Amino acid sequence: MSGGVDSSATAALLQSEGWEVVGVTLKLWPQDCVSRAEDKCCGPQAVMDARSVCARLGIPYYLVDESELFQKKVIGYFAEEYRAGRTPNPCVMCNQHLKFGVLLDRARQLGCDRIATGHFARLETDSATGRTLLLKGLDARKDQSYFLFSLRQDQLCRALFPLGERTKSDTREVARACELRTADKEESMEICFVPDNDYGKFLQDAKLAQRHRGDILDIEGRKLGEHEGVEFYTIGQRRGLGISTPQPVYVVELDAANNRVVVGPESALGCSCFEVANCNWIPWETPPLEISCLARIRYNHPGVPAIVTPHPGGVASVRLAEAARAVTPGQACVFYGGDDGSRVLGGGWIVRPAPGGGTACCGP
């Protein structure tokens, strides 16, 4: 329970359905979060709100400190990816390792059978295979299935997403009907541990990265200026480059090994073929040789028709029907299928687009 309206409504709904409910807040940040926004998921106000909701519903409440694991699996990963010139997605990692990882062990200790969260996503059971399937939430504006693609079968089969069939406004009505103090609480769209969404400042303040100069090059290899560290730039970035060019240029490549930032015209950001690694497949133990699907290269991406070819070792090549802008290493690419495109087939982590935004497909 993050202290927000979604997890609060989830607890109320499950209780109304006859479940025996236990509320748990994961304390994830090593400090007490007082210096951070009070509505963060482990801040003092969030804990007070979650505890108040549980008191109102008459259910037990626990605050569980998992800050050490969070530091290793999420914060450490976050910094390491930026230092490697990739753009991380910490929410996916938190779901995989914390909310549906260690929390499952805590659930067993509390005698609980399932983990329920306020994610807007749905689950079904495949009658033919018995596998648990993941689908988009019915509220397209709030769908969070993208962040859950990496969950394994042993995690999905013990998950519950009561909000998957509801809209955000429905959720608030549930909380109001139960007179929960979180009913009208605003939600935060920022990364929970990064104040003001300024990840560069966070990395420096936490001493996870430091500024170090390197060359900014154009796509022909000509030096245009200097940067202050590849970890402070992202693919597609235009502002804050500190260089003057006749035409607008964008970051098209981050070469951490050689400490170089490569920039080029917007046309160089287009890419129709790339590789993904560490793939997770949801409907299948072994995926088909070729998969027709809709591929989303970032959370707010609408998706592009694609052909995915899985290879041994959890790698797959992705060929998009049309070039997408700023295919970014480190981001998750999630594949959707089914008659209405709502079923999550799986996904992986973007490794490297074809050089120069090319269209020639990479091999395994």
Identify the active-site residue in 192, 273, 279, 293: 192
Q: How far apart are the first and last CA of the chain?
A: 41
94/84 Cα distance (integer angstroms)? 20
Residue 152: which residues within 8 A CB-CB, separation 6 or more? Answer: 280
Ramachandran area for residue 303 (φ above 0: left; ψ -120 to 50: alpha; else beta): left
256/254 Cα distance (integer angstroms)? 6
Q: What is the DSSP string of 135-149?
A: EE-S-TTT--GGGGT
Is 362 among the catalytic positions? no
Buried b (16+ CB within 10 A) or exposed e, 49-84: bbbbbbebbebebeeeebbeebeebbbebbbebbee
Is 192 among the catalytic positions? yes
Q: Which helix (H) or strand (E) holds 77?
A: helix 76-83
Identify the active-site residue in 94, 271, 273, 279: 94
Active site residues: 94, 192
